[in-house]
Structure 1
Amino acid sequence: MTTTTDRNLEQLAAQLGAVIVTHEGGEKGRYYGNGIISLRRNLGPKNYRCTLAHELAHHALDHDPAATGWVHDRQERQANEWAARLLISPTEYQQAEALYGPQPQLLAHELGVTVKVLKTWTSIYERKLAA
């Protein structure tokens, strides 16, 4: 049911001028600045998609990889939200919820994202509804 395949994310990376490299062990991904994104080599499909979308967000939003403190925290929140909006459409979410109800694990599996991305997406739309 997912709308954004890995290939589409890689095409988006190329359009945005980002270069994807890989690394062994450690963190899932990192944005180094200047369009350089590194992803851990052994990521499964969901973690690959979600991590790439998150790191692409840092690039697209021109984040400073050396940021610390509240600036770093704000950049992480922005990247999480950008990635969630990229990977999940309201229509797809509604279709998945009609099938499974409000079950985060099942919804995330159906949508091809991690539970963290799903929860970020639902928090965005809960805030919109409350406003």
Structure 2
Amino acid sequence: MIDDHIRETIDALGVDVVYAELPEDRDGEYIHHLSLIRLRPGMRRRLHRSVAAHECAHAVFADVPSRFGPRNAKQERRADEWAALRLIDIDDYKLAERIHTGHVDAIALELDVTADIVEAFQRILTRFGDTVYVGARMGAGMWHHRETTDQH
């Protein structure tokens, strides 16, 4: 099952999703010239939702694999970060991080995503003093979410 908001994005882009046998090292792939996401059948729920969101991100950005390794690495990071912003709620993350004292695998289980998605979410957190920004960019007011902790 693909999360509703991810499915809506896939549908809005006019991308088809099929389940097919893939090379052993792949759980999913996006093929831009076909507007197609292929997913490995039979994945467990948290892997399935993480891979579906990741491949949806490739569709959003119209990613095409390159022979240039750094470009591919950038596309993969961006896809994981996009997926993380859509699969992880900041309040759920804060609770899971507190409960599991920062243990990535345990947080991933708690949030029903893969560890890669949790690590991507952690990469986009920027902490300044008592404030944490999610998806901060250069410029005033440029962030996905801002969370301030009370220090009494």
Q: Which TM bucket (shorter chain)?
A: 0.7 to 0.9
Q: Aligned in 2, Cα 1:121/1:7: closer, same or farther, shift over 3 Å?
A: closer
User: 1:129 maps to what in 2?
Assistant: 127
Residue 6 of structure 1 aligns to a residue in which SS?
coil
Structure with larger Rg:
2
Whether the 8 Å CA contact 2:19–2:38 is kept in 1: the answer is yes
1:115, CA displacement in angstroms?
1.0
Partner of 2:32: 33
**1:88 aligned partner:** 88
Between Structure 1 and Structure 2, the one with more helix by share is 1
% identity of equivalent residues: 29
CA RMSD of aligned residues (A): 1.9
Partner of residue 7, structure 2:
10
Structure 1 position 6, deviation (Å): 2.4
1:87 Cα deviation from its structure 2 partner: 1.0
Q: TM-score, normalised by structure 2?
A: 0.73
Letter in 1 for 2:108: A
Q: Secondary structure at the match of 1:129?
A: strand
Question: Number of residues paired by the alignment?
Answer: 124
| Larger RCO (CA within 8 A; separation ≥ 6) | 1
Amino acid at match of 1:123: R
Q: List gaps (5 residues or longer) in structure 1.
A: none
Query: Structure 2 stretches of 5 or more lacking a match?
Result: 129-135, 137-152
Shift of 1:25: 4.3
TM-score by length of 1: 0.84
Measured in 2, the distance between the counterparts of 1:6 and 1:111 equals 15
Q: Does 1:107 align with 2:103?
A: no
Equivalent residue, structure 2, for 1:55 = 55
Paired with 1:11 and 1:77, the residues of 2 have a C-alpha distance of 22
